[in-house]
Structure 1
Amino acid sequence: MSKSERFEKVYSQGALNTTEIWVDRETGVNYVFHASGNAGGLTPLLNRDGKPVISPILNSSPKSSV
């Protein structure tokens, strides 16, 4: 992954109906992406208080967990 890539996929499930979680590496904000067929949508992931989920920003090399 090059340094110019801003988003990192940290979670993925499904094949035809996919759900993924992406993290903005500059702000730490988590986003949920869901796709079904030719349609898809992206939205910030919110906690129970309605505030965005924010991950710690790490300046190390990315994990290859997905």
Structure 2
Amino acid sequence: MARNDKRFEKVHSQSMGFGSSVEILRDTQTGVCYLWRSGGYAGGLTALLGADGKPVVDPSL
């Protein structure tokens, strides 16, 4: 990986009001998508799962 390449890229961002937001990040090496939820001074990250319970993988990579 080159120095300027980023491992993660933001593919979606949505404000939830009152300082909270939801973002979807994609791992550019594996294609796996993650959900980042933040509000105030707290936040959480988890793999984004499909209806089958498996991680969502972006096939365009």
Q: Mark yes or no: TM-score above 0.5.
A: yes
1 or 2, which has the higher strand percentage? 2
Distance in 1, matches of 2:38 and 2:10, equals: 14
CA RMSD of aligned residues (A): 0.9
TM-score normalized by structure 2? Answer: 0.85
Q: Following TM superposition, where does structure 1 have runs of at least 4 consecutive aligned residues deviating by more than 3 angstroms?
A: none
Runs of 5+ in structure 1 lacking a partner?
58-66
Q: Counterpart of 1:18?
A: 21
Percent identity between the two aligned chains: 51
Cα deviations across residues 24-55 of structure 1 (Å, max 9, x unaligned)? 00000000000010000000000001000000
Q: Counterpart of 1:30?
A: 33
Letter in 2 for 1:54: V
1:54 aligns to 2:57 (yes or no): yes
Runs of 5+ in structure 2 lacking a partner?
none
Letter in 2 for 1:9: K
